[in-house]
Amino acid sequence: MSDLLDCPMRWQKRNLEGMRLPSTPPALIGTAVHASTAVFDQGDVTIDEAAGAAVDAIENPDDDVDWMGMAQQKAINTAIRTHVAYCTEISPHHDYTIIEHTLKPLSIDMGDDVVFTLTGTLDRIRQDLYGYRGVSDVKTGVAAVGRDGKVIIGKHAAQLGTYTLLAEQEFGPMMLDAGIIGLSTGGSSRVGFAEVKDAKIALIGEFDEPGLLHYIKPYFKTGMFPPNPGSFMCSKQYCPFHSRCRFHG
């Protein structure tokens, strides 16, 4: 959702026309950490044993990787360091009932022949001492946790709203606020947890207040996905259409 709102044309080229760029080391580190932390939370294994899943994900990636910016061994070291931080500082404080689950799709009729079908693979559903549940999503990156120790949450509300709707369809009410598990892949290995209030409402709206799905509906109704040459991600590093786009000058 944040990508679509940042530059609709870039989103269109990626998601409707299937244009792709090679994966990057930061993205691969995120995939690796997702894999290893899930292994740790799912089974009776040690932190070191679960870390093997991160190493395997980096040494045997599913997609092509542009290694120009980082050596493979550095990516492995970063992934293991982040994995250890999660296993020691985050996992012991949460009780998970669901780990890495592909959710059943949910279609929402927006009118005017526009139907959005929400899909997703959920990282976690956590449960508190009273049995109340809420979705949690793992986010990695150099800026996943700020220098002040606070988890960056702003751009993730729509995704967490999607997970909440899908989880409620399949598992019943999610009474806890959605949460983000932030894992910094910078040198400090900062980690943290933050709740996102009203994530579902941000997506679908409430009463007379429209949600994000209402704001993106015109793009799909008209088929017009405008460019945004002012986007901070308007570069060949992030956009597969950049070399052919005539709007950024």
Could you write out the three-class secondary structure of 165-190?
A: HHHHHHHCCCCCCEEEEEEECCCCCC
Give the predicted TM-score (pTM) of the model.
0.91
Cα dihedral sign, 232-237-243-244: negative
Neighbours of 74 (CB within 10 A): 13
CA 184 from centre of chain: 14
Give the single-character DSSP code of 72. H
pLDDT in tens, 33-55: 999 999 999 989 999 999 999 99
Mean pLDDT of 149-162: 90
Q: Where are the domains of the chain?
A: 95-221
pLDDT(191) > 90: yes
